[in-house]
Amino acid sequence: MNVLALLLSLALPAAAADSPESLRAAGERSFGGLIPVVDPAVGAPELPPGVAVGDGPVDPTDPPLDPARPVENPLRRPRLEAFPQAVGPLLGVMPLKERLDSHRDLLPLRLGALDWNVSIAADSKFDAQYLTFQRGDVLVLRRLKDLNELRGSGVVVKIDDKTTYRFKVSINIFSPVRGSTLNITPEPGTAGPKHAIKTGAVLDAVKRESFVFKAEGKEYWALFGTDVDPATDRLAETRSLLFINEAGMSSKAWPVAETALPEGAPTAVSLENTKLVMVRGADGRLSIYQPGKGSPSAR
């Protein structure tokens, strides 16, 4: 359930389809043509072909795109290991059963003649991304082949025989993370409303659907979702957690498979510099702790 990889493709126009090395090789001023940047010499943005530019207020917490700063991949792999030492203070208890797929109603929208809950999903390896459309017991999964198209001509998604929409991001270069716009417009032949949603509103919706806790002075959002089998494009039997730290262009996310947390066994989980201990209980609750004092993970 790779929520952030897709979300940051919506909310971070500079989301990491390429490594920092390849972006640097492509040139400082264009970041490989993936995103617009501001050229201080002329005071005007340089845009890659086909990318729309949105306007709107500037969020002071969301700095403009910096042409001198390489783009980092927001998706990181956490380090997990057994934790035999005593745990420290409890940071939170996440009820996994109650939180499973809580983000399915991320964006309630009328598409065509029907109301749908629009959200996102991914496979267990976080390689394949999907848009999900739910209405009652009906769940439609539509695979996204190239996330870069969201920032270009857009992605056309057929929801049913009468409903086809284009999903496209317009970039606000001065407030890219929260001030860009996700445009959802009906294709010819589809009678229905169009929508323009700020990427900040998308991130706020993710937070509302998340289990939120703080560790080492940082706020983390945790989501728990059912994986998708990329061979069938249907729901799999496995589930994954995703831990998100929203920090503007430095936002990051760490996926953790449910099976990577053995039931009843304390597991040290390192989200880069943030050290945690997690215990998945037999009661289906995930307890999140600080490491105990003196343990290697606490250093």
pLDDT value for 121: 92
Domain boundaries, the chain: 79-99+211-298
Q: Provide the percentage of residues in the chain whose pLDDT is more than 70.
A: 74
65 contact partners, CB below 8 Å, separation of at least 6: 13, 14, 35, 36, 37, 38, 173, 176, 249
pLDDT value for 2: 43
Confidence of residue 295 (pLDDT cuts 50, 70, 90): low
Confidence of residue 225 (pLDDT cuts 50, 70, 90): very high
pLDDT value for 21: 40
> For residue range 111-160, what is the model confidence (pLDDT) as tens digits?
999 999 999 998 887 788 899 999 999 999 999 887 778 878 899 999 99
Looking at every residue in the chain, the average pLDDT score rounds to: 80
Q: Is the pLDDT of residue 277 over 60?
A: yes
pLDDT value for 84: 85
> For residue range 48-61, what is the model confidence (pLDDT) as tens digits?
444 444 555 555 55
This prediction's pTM: 0.79
Q: What is the largest CA-CA distance in the chain?
A: 65
